[in-house]
Amino acid sequence: MIMKTTLTALALIATIGATATYANSHAESASDAGDAEKTRVISDTSIAIYSQNPYIQSVMEDTTHIQAARLKEIMDRGDEIILLDVRPRAEFESTPGIEGTAMNIPRNFIEVEAYEQLEDKDASIIIVSSKGIRGGLAAHTLQAMGYTNVRNLLGGVEGWTK
């Protein structure tokens, strides 16, 4: 039992380390406001938990992410963005998110409701979820639907509030 627990803990530590290495090229850099340079950043262990799922790992690697600090810079400048919260409606209504998030399309409705609510496929859309996983999936879906400027908030609402 102790051996199994130790091996599981070591596997999780290795996964977190590997995931930290993986995430770098998929986060928008805060160092260059003009260019969407990609860097590798890990926001929290939520990505590490899902990193063993090959599909989610692939989606997260193919999705453009943004760090909370970079999003704050964009919001402080007053740039025109759409903050799209993809948490379930009950969670969106009962749990604080990011101030200024007016739009909620739950992840499980994104394919249907995006066509109705997100008419401009070139708009700057920042996806928000609890930890960034559902956000990554939603961003990937929107990109597949032809939306050209979609980013997922690394760490989601939890990363934003830290």
Euclidean distance between CA atoms 101 and 21, whole angstroms: 31
Structural domains for the chain: 2-161 (3.40.250.10)
Does the predicted TM-score (pTM) go above 0.85? no
pLDDT for 92: 92
Strands (E), the chain: 27-28, 38-39, 65-66, 82-85, 103-104, 125-128, 150-153
Cα 12 to the chain's mean position, in Å? 21
Q: Among positive and negative, which fits the CA dihedral 67, 72, 78, 81? A: positive
Asked if residue 109 has pLDDT above 50, the reply is yes
